[in-house]
Chain A
Amino acid sequence: MAKTTRITYRCSFCGKEQNEVQRLIAGPGGVYVCDECTHAFTEVLANAESALALPAHTRVLTAADPYKEKVGGLVRCSFCGKSREQVNAMIAGPGGVHICNECVDLCLQIIEEERNPAAHGHAEQTHAPSSADGVRKHLLDVDDWSASEIGALFARADAMGAALARPETKLDTLRGKVMVNLFYENSTRTRVSFELAGKKLGADVTNVTASASSVTKGESLIDTVRTLQALGARIVVVRSSQAGAPDLIARHIDGSVLNAGDGWHAHPTQALLDLYTIVRRLGPVRGRRIVILGDILHSRVARSNIWTLTAMGATVVLCGPPTLLPPAAADLYAARPVPGTDARREVIVEPHIERALEGADVVMALRLQRERQQAGLLPSIREYSAVWGLTPERLKLANPGALVLHPGPMNEGVEIDPAVAYGDASVIEEQVTNGVAIRMAALELVAGADQKRGE
């Protein structure tokens, strides 16, 4: 077969080909800028009068230009990904390419250095700045959290716990900031927990309980979020029945988004508080056997817990009716090592409850929704309870001193026997208490990112 590849690269701003210019510098995703444009941009950024030197369809954005694209969120530099608010100036080229003043400077440096090769080595590719500098803008998922990041958050949660022990004092981490709890699904404990956490940190907290029907009435999530932003919201805590809703919001808001549960996808603060509760009782979880029991398929709590527990080195056993286990789970987690390491995540799928509980250090029971029976996934709630219910007898199969967790709300007598729920092994109430400290630490984390943006 004849090789037909003859690839021409063009400057994304003036359209000139590689051989028509001295130098073409590549950004990510196929954007390029040539030396001529770099010089023109440097000139125009230094002196607005020289605007005539710019190629057609290229200009410096002014305050009158929108900060957001019609599609796809904020106007961002195509080279480093920064938004307009993060840089001093942005130049727009044809077809939606942008370059910020910082990248123009960097490109100029590269060109200058090449003229004077003694100065530095080559730096052809620009790189987006890393976000792993101890702050996170959003808390959407925990699949990319490392053990050290979790450890750092827990240290802050300890401090927050100490602050909570002094009810008369308020912290000023979020003072003057508007935090909105946007809940599209009913929730008592998560909403109240976030509300208390925000108030303790000094935020102005507002609750918006939007019924799911407002979506079908044509009010889109994006509209709602833009409205909240226009009203000054800097932090949005969202609960939605739709997986990915927090990601969508994060693309349309300048402030921070915390996921308080989205569909079957994730419930990051729940997983963090579960792990925190376990660690405070049992110490490090590395090598421990932790059973998640019940309807894993539909559970965001289970999904998030798997990431955090395995990041800390625990072995997670997923146990439940075969129809309620998620597809390809073992392969999924095996394929995604803990960030920053090549440590394999240990996840075992075991439908037999007795085998699963054997040697367990922690058992986390999940709520069983009654509609699973109508959906043809279960013969009956009664049978489920008989086969997979967590009873005192079954708990004896676990290691002595094993803990029992439940994210609530419980169906007593279905997935968990009241004798277990209120027994010595249960730490269910501690989970709720710890939730406030963990959520304070999470809010502080994103507030740190907000602070950095403001600097």
Chain B
Amino acid sequence: MREPQEYAAIILAGSRILDPSQGMDGSGALLIVDGRIAAIGSEQDVEAKLSELDIGPEQRMTLRQPAGSVIAPGFVDLHAHLRQPGFEAKETIATGAEAAARGGFTTICCMPNTQPVIDSRATLEYVLRAAENAPVRIGPIAAISKGEDGHELSEMVELAQAGVVAFSDDGRPVASSKLMRSALEYAAPLGLPVVEHCQDEDLVGGGVMHEGQISTLLGLKGWPAEGEEVMLARDLALVRLTGAKYHAAHLSTAGAVELVRQAKREGLPVTAEVTPHHLLLTDAWVAGERTGPLADALAEIGVPVLPGERYDTDTKVNPPLRTAKDCAALLAGLRDGTIDAIATDHAPHTLTDKACEYGEAAFGISGLETALASLLALVHVERLDLATLVAALTVRPARAWNLDAGTLKVGAHADITVFDPNEAWVVDPARFASKGKNTPLTGLTLHGRVRQTWLGGKLVYAAGN
């Protein structure tokens, strides 16, 4: 049997097509020619296009998807850590990209907090070369400051010319208001967003989990919600001053959502993202008490959620898991468009980085391979519309950063995700493609699985049985 790519035309048919970029949601078919979408609509539309292009039956491969599956644009992740160069034990560009493909992502943007930091053309070119044969498109984000040390700007113009998609000192928030102002001014004419990990390090000062009841229960140092809001408010004032594009990474607090809502109302060029774990999990998970939207949803569909372990270091993430009230505000923000995108903040670590006391453990959750299924829990209990979820994973992040992705419009790259929203599976990190096995969801039964991922008309991932 020939490979799909040996045919002149590939037709995906027989299932629901959901493409929020063109308001499409219904059964239909999709035609891929030369790695791009050639037609999308009814099977007749596809047939007409095939005749127009004079592609005979022997040159066509038709893949009928099982009933119940959904064809969507390939997902776009604005926030992933691929760890290469420097931390290859945690992840490499190859393993991270493989994990992305399995999670249904076709475009991922990788953060520059590598060793060395992506703050120069040399490092950037190394990353771009390593990404060349990856099964997903990789858009590197360059550092705002040299070495992410918050003192001198990186060479932003040259980095923009060499192909970065944004600037960020993620993980090392820009403490200096003056440097942040300079970065925004410098980035404005480049049209690229400056991405902030909002954390006033002075106020947060070594906090390891959300400051509140549970930090008091466990005797862990708190990371107050205001640590995020103080820096976001400062940044928004600087955006007002400079007019530059600004993107707030991984919002985690109700107050932060409200700040972004007001900024958008005012017309500031601000976008924002939220992670699956901040939408779904609460600080109580640190105490092994699995409450919040994911646990509620699983209980509602009849999956028992047992208590976890206290001080489970896989719940340690920055910004920290917060309260159910924050989860609710984040979901409301996602639904009303205040928050543009869902981004994973995929942060893989080695077992050793996590097999220690909570205070000593590394921050981060390996998220690419559980994002879809965990978020679908909200869809299954009707807290979130499937179309909104797919939009937040596709067209909304693509528009936020002006990326050539996230759509199945005719002429677009044939970057496609096919998923079964109902298939049940048990999260087992040993089966992750990612080297990062650090997820608090281990052992949970989730519903929804990626069946196929296509990149530029090539099948880059197909689920085995």
Contacts and interface: CB of A to CB of B under 8 A. Distances in A.
B267 interface: no
A113 interface: no
Given A95-B428, A264-B219, A240 B357 contact: yes
A8 B424 contact: yes
A293 B305 CA distance: 40
Interface in A202-225: 215, 220-222
A314 B392 CA distance: 51
Interface residues of A, number: 51
Interface in A224-271: 240, 242-245, 247-248, 251, 262-266
A303 B216 CA distance: 8
A122 interface: no
Contact of A327 (B211, B306, B310): B211
Interface in B206-235: 211-222, 224
Interface string B418-462: 000111101011110000010000111101000000000000000
A5 interface: yes
Interface stretch (A22-30, A82-90, A421-429): A22-30
Contact of A8 (B304, B386, B423): B423
A264 B357 CA distance: 13
Interface string A122-151: 000100000000000000100100000000
A3 B385 CA distance: 10
B357 A4 contact: no
Contacts of A31: 426
B310 A29 contact: no
B30 to A, nearest CB: 20
Nearest to B447: A7
B445 A29 contact: yes
B357 A242 contact: yes
B358 interface: yes
Q: Is the interface of A mostly helix, strand, loop or mixed?
A: loop
Interface stretch (B154-162, B236-244, B253-261, B348-356): B348-356
B54 interface: no
B217 A243 contact: no
Contact of B357 (A9, A72, A221): A221
B382 A3 contact: yes
A4 B220 contact: no
Interface in A1-38: 1-10, 12, 26, 28-31
Contacts of B351: 70-71
A2 B144 CA distance: 44
A413 interface: no
Given A244-B310, A244-B358, A245-B357, A30 B213 contact: no
A337 interface: no
Given A7-B302, A243-B311, A265 B218 contact: yes
B352 to A, nearest CB: 7
B164 to A, nearest CB: 36
B359 A243 contact: yes
Given A29-B306, A247-B309, A327-B222, A4 B356 contact: no
A51 to B, nearest CB: 24
A243 B303 CA distance: 31
A448 interface: no
A342 interface: no
B424 A10 contact: yes
Contacts, number: 128
B60 interface: no
Contacts of A243: 218-220, 311, 357-359
Contact of A242 (B358, B428, B429): B358
Nearest to B311: A244
B219 A300 contact: yes
B380 interface: yes
Interface string B397-417: 000000000000000000000
Nearest to B443: A29
B68 interface: yes
Contact of B309 (A5, A215, A251): A251
Which residue, of B311, B360, B380, has the highest number of chain A Cβ atoms within 10 A?
A: B311
Interface string B291-323: 000000000011111100111000000000000
Nearest to B323: A328
B379 interface: yes
A23 B428 CA distance: 24
Contacts of B302: 7
Contacts of A30: 303-304, 424, 426, 443-445
Nearest to A30: B445
Given A220-B355, A242-B357, A248 B219 contact: no
B68 to A, nearest CB: 7
B219 A331 contact: no
Contacts of A240: 357
Nearest to A8: B424
A332 interface: yes
B219 A263 contact: yes
A436 B174 CA distance: 52
Contacts of B211: 327
Nearest to A72: B442
Given A264-B220, A328-B216, A1 B385 contact: yes
A63 interface: no
Which residue, of A3, A4, A31, A331, has the highest number of chain B Cβ atoms within 10 A?
A: A4
Interface of A: 1-10, 12, 26, 28-31, 70-72, 95-97, 125, 140, 143, 215, 220-222, 240, 242-245, 247-248, 251, 262-266, 300, 303, 326-329, 331-332, 335
Ranked 10 nearest A-B pairs via Cβ: A30-B445, A265-B219, A244-B311, A264-B219, A242-B357, A332-B213, A95-B428, A326-B216, A243-B219, A328-B213
Interface of B: 68, 211-222, 224, 301-306, 309-311, 351-352, 355-360, 379-380, 382, 385-386, 421-424, 426, 428-431, 437, 442-445, 447
9 contacts: A4-B421, A5-B301, A29-B444, A29-B445, A71-B351, A243-B359, A244-B310, A247-B310, A263-B219
Given A30-B303, A30-B424, 16 more contacts: A1-B382, A3-B382, A4-B379, A5-B422, A9-B424, A220-B352, A222-B355, A243-B218, A244-B218, A244-B358, A247-B311, A251-B309, A263-B359, A303-B216, A327-B222, A331-B213
